[in-house]
Every structure is written in C-alpha cells, then in structure tokens.
A and B are shown apart, each in its own frame.
Chain A
Amino acid sequence: MISDITLGQFFPGSSVMHRLDPRVKLCMTVYYIGLIFCSRNWITLALTVLTALSGVVLSKVPAKLYLKSLKPIWFLIAFTGILNLFYGSGEPIWSFGFLSITRAGIINAVMIAVRLVVLILISSVLTFTTSPTQLTDAIERVLKPLALLHVPVHEFAMMMTIALRFVPTLLEETDKIMSAQKARGADLESGGLAQRIRALIPILIPLFVSAFRRAFDLATAMESRCYHGGAGRTRMKTLHLGRVDYGVLALCAAYLVLFVLLTALLPAAI
C-alpha cells in the first residue's frame, strides 16, 4: 500500500536524539553529510559510519524502519557503485572489450556505496526523530539571515510546513480514490507503459481537484485567523538550546579536529 512509504516520516519518541534541539540536529546533519564526502581514507570513512550507527542506536527507532528507508534506493546505490567500478584509473585487473576494472575503481565503488548508505541513514535519523513542524521551525531559524537579502524565508518555511502536513492527507486521499476507481473496474496493474499512464488519469484528476479544494479552504481558514505573513509573528514554542545541545556542538567541533587530523596524516585510499 502507498502508506508504507517511510522515507521522511516522523517516529515519535523520547530518546536523546528526539530531545535534541532541531536546529542542532539540522546543522549536524548538513555538517556530517559534508564530512562524508570529504572522507578520503578508510579510517575517516569508518568514523562516519560509526557516527551514523551511533545516531541510529541513540534514536531508539526500530532498525527495521531504517532498512525500510534504504529500500527504495538500493537500486541507486547498486547503479552508482557499478558505474564507478568501471571509472577507475590505473592498471586494469580485469577487462572485457572497452570495460575494465581497476583497483582504484573497486575502491571508488565501495566508498561511494558506503557514503550513500551513511547519507541516507544520517538524514533518516533527522527525519525520524524530528517532527515536520520542528524541522521547518529549524529551517526558518537557520535561514533567517537570508531575509536580509530579501529572501522570503518565512514564506518558504510556511510552504514547507503546509506541504509536509498534507503529505499523509493526500496519500490517504489517493488510496481512497484508487479504491473507488478500482471498484468501477479501473485496471491499474496490467498493460503496457502507455496504458498504465492512461490508467492514472482517473486518479490524478480527482486528486488535483481535491488538492486545490483543500488549498482554498486552508487559505480561507488562515485568513480568517488573520494570518498576514511572518512580520511580527511570535511562536508558541520558542526553541532553547540546553546543556545537551551545547555538549553535542562541542563534540562536533572536536570531531572536526579529529577528522582533519586523520585526513591530513593518513594517506588517501586511492
């Protein structure tokens, strides 16, 4: 069923990762993703894997969910891995026609695959432990300096909040419309590509109509509560950095020093 999609879904809980300030989590995620792609040797790569795994463990979210969030991208991982296998330079170990595999190619492929898995795991930790509202709050707060450059940060954040809020609603709606059309004999499962695309029309049109209807209703509801954009708007729940948050930030700084040292001192894998 459609509702089985887990990528980017909040899993309520009260672990350390859940209680961490969303701004800290957001910055940390971006920071680690940066580090993942800077890791050039096995030790630093292992370090990022270890960090991601400790994040997973600390989040106390069932490991099953993480595996599920990896499921849709196994293909991508395998594809980029295999592609990289043939793009290494140096002495070929094995060759067939224009295809050849080198030692550098193998190392490259493994590193890319590991990086992608870690990337997904780290961002899953963020989305599993942070509610969509918290996440957009954090994005709005972190991007606030851009408002000086006349970037409508608040509007973007509001749009994101609304979009995220309506994902489950629209999924449920899609399910209902699909059931209704199936009950009228719509065949969604067989036929060629063209036929399958045509079979989507009876689902997409009602879905769009209902999305617009919801959008108009929401706009009316917001206006009748005097919403007029971000200026002068205060929050019911203001974000505060606690002791744990400062501790985590300090750890991140120490981690950066360690990472730079290891990268500088150890030889690159390729």
Chain B
Amino acid sequence: MNVLETKDLTYTYGVGTPFEITAVDGVSVSVEAGEFLGVIGHTGSGKSTLIQMLNGLIRPTAGQVLLNGEDIWAKPKEIRRVRFKVGMVFQYPEYQLFEETVLKDIMFGPKNMGLSDADAEAKAREAARFTELREDLLEKSPFELSGGEKRRAAIAGVIAMDPDVLILDEPAAGLDPKGRDLILAQISNYHRERQNTVLLVSHSMEDIGRTADRVLVMNRGKAEFLGPTRRIFAEGQELSEMGLRLPQITSILRRLSGMGMPVGDTVLSVDEAFFQLLPLLKRGGGKGAGA
C-alpha cells in the first residue's frame, strides 16, 4: 500500500523568465505506508522542493502527488487537510515558535485542525513525550529553552497533529553530536511506536544509514536511486560522483573487505561494524589488531 505517490512530478522556478530552473524533473516514486524513507541529495539536488510539493506547500508545475491514491490538488481549497495528514518539519524549525508557552505552541497545529482545547492539549502532551520535553518546560516561554529543546518543541508541534506521514528536513542540522543522536533516536522511537510513515531528508549518509529502511537519492532534480538502504550503500562510486560520501565507517569496512577481510561492505553503523570486527580481534593475529 502506497501512502504517497508522485507521478512525473516537476517543478520549475521562474517560468517565462531568463532565470528558469527546473528544480524537480519528472520524479515518479512511491512511499510505502509505515516505512522509514531517507531522502538524500547534494545541496541543490531538489530534495527540499520535492518535499514541499508532498504536503501541498508548493503546487507542481507538472505531474501529480497522490496521497492515499487521491490527487492532493483535486480540490485546491481543501489543501489544508493535506497538510494535516502530511506533517512537515522544516530546517531550523525552532524559528517558528511564537506562543507564550511551549505547550500552547505545540497546540497550535491541533487547534488549527479544529480540535477542542482539551483534545489539543492531550495531543500536545503526547507529542512532548515523544520528544522528551520535561513537564516543567511546557509551561515556560519557548524563548527560554536551550537550542536543542527549542528544536524538540518545534518537532513536537508537528507530531501533535498526528500526521500519517511525517517529513523532517535536516532535523539534526547545527546540533552537537549528542543532540543529534538524541533527536534521531526520538524520531526512530516515534516511528516504531506509531508505525507511521517517516521521511527523513538529510545530506548525511551517517544519519540515513542509522535510521532509514529505504533511501531515495536525488541528483539534479531527478530521482536517481530508490531502494533498501544497504543496496544504495553498495553504490559507493556513483554516490561519490553525486557529491555524497559514504559514512566513514562504511568506507573503512569496504577497504578492509577489499583487503580480503571477512567483513560486509555495506555496513550501516558503527555498532554494526563493532560486531563484525570483534570476532576478528578475538581470533587474534597482528593483521586483525592493525585494523
């Protein structure tokens, strides 16, 4: 079952001017319900434009976006309903906070959906639980929070709408390694618990490798690859030609595998590498220790 599907989706900026640029060029992909899809691409590959079309923030110049099999632009006046179903967390979402308290800010989305105060608050508290915001923070002004807390509050503001599909654009950008780990773990938890569809946009193969089931690779406005993460990681050469680099740990193990060591060449995370290298070390030998 495909929750989202694009058909020949195209977006051209500045139609009819000398500055005409096709940012997304004939993209046809399907997103399966309940999957965790990583969207990866170099800066300017069209990934941001693509995701903004998925929730109807921009209208495609050609092609269609199907949500549960229906064209989202069939009734342009009801496009807001699409935005509730396809939740979008933009880059640096902390800049969207505006309410008096964190709780009220998280309630903004649910209230726009027409929920009562009590229902909206229940949704907001539930969302705050996913992003691990402490109770006492909810009554504070959002401007008093730390950077990482603001980011989590903003993400909770989208989760609170309980969307079928959650799209996050570089949610870990600009955070320290600890904050980054925390946010990615919270998103994975949310995905596991809710069984919702999640799209994670990033240019970091590390983040994608750690979280995604499948990966969509965007390059120059086109959908270059779409497949299971491990299979995409096997395309190291092509990826580096698109300006994407495999995670350091994947590259190291590929080299080792090339040297004849019995390790996989599509390792996705340091943890996985750890369990592959450990038996080699235990077996001993100067060669193993050198790795």
Contact = CB atoms under 8 A, between A and B. Distances in A.
Task: State yes or no: do A and B come from one complex.
Answer: yes
Interface of A: 173, 176-177, 179-187, 201-202, 205-206, 209-210
Interface residues of B, number: 22
Interface string B70-103: 0000000000100110011010010111100000
Contact of B109 (A176, A177, A185): A185
Given A182-B57, A185-B84, A185-B161, A176 B95 contact: yes
22 contacts: A176-B95, A177-B95, A179-B52, A179-B90, A180-B90, A180-B93, A180-B95, A180-B96, A181-B96, A183-B83, A184-B108, A184-B109, A184-B157, A185-B84, A185-B113, A186-B112, A187-B112, A201-B98, A205-B98, A206-B95, A206-B97, A209-B143
Interface string B149-185: 0000000011001000000000000000000000000
B55 interface: yes
B96 A206 contact: yes
Question: What are the 3 tightest A-B residue pairs by CB atom distance, in nearest-first order?
Answer: A185-B112, A205-B98, A180-B96
Interface of B: 52, 55, 57, 80, 83-84, 87-88, 90, 93, 95-98, 108-109, 112-113, 143, 157-158, 161
A202 B109 contact: no
Name which of B55, B96, B112, B157 has the most chain A CB atoms within 10 A of its CB.
B96
Given A183-B87, A186-B108, 16 more contacts: A173-B95, A177-B95, A179-B90, A180-B88, A180-B93, A183-B90, A184-B83, A185-B80, A185-B84, A185-B109, A185-B161, A187-B80, A201-B98, A202-B96, A202-B98, A209-B143
A179 B84 CA distance: 13
A100 B96 CA distance: 54
By secondary structure, the B interface counts as helix
By secondary structure, the A interface counts as helix
A183 B57 contact: yes
A202 B95 contact: no
A209 B98 CA distance: 9
Contacts of A206: 95-98
Contacts, number: 56
B158 to A, nearest CB: 7
Contacts of B93: 180
B46 to A, nearest CB: 16
A236 B158 CA distance: 49
B158 A184 contact: yes
Contacts of B52: 179
A6 B55 CA distance: 29
A177 B113 contact: no
A210 B92 CA distance: 12
A49 to B, nearest CB: 28
A180 B83 CA distance: 11
Contacts of B112: 184-187
Contacts of B97: 206
Nearest to B97: A206
A206 B154 CA distance: 12
Contacts of A202: 96, 98, 108
B102 to A, nearest CB: 14
Nearest to A176: B90
Name which of A180, A201, A209, A210 has the most chain B CB atoms within 10 A of its CB.
A180
Given A182-B83, A183-B55, A187-B112, A210 B95 contact: yes
Contacts of B109: 184-185
A206 B97 CA distance: 6
A101 to B, nearest CB: 41
Nearest to A213: B95
A189 to B, nearest CB: 10
A185 B90 contact: no
A118 to B, nearest CB: 27
A180 B48 CA distance: 13
Name which of B84, B95, B157, B161 has the most chain A CB atoms within 10 A of its CB.
B95
Contacts of A183: 55, 57, 83, 87-88, 90, 158
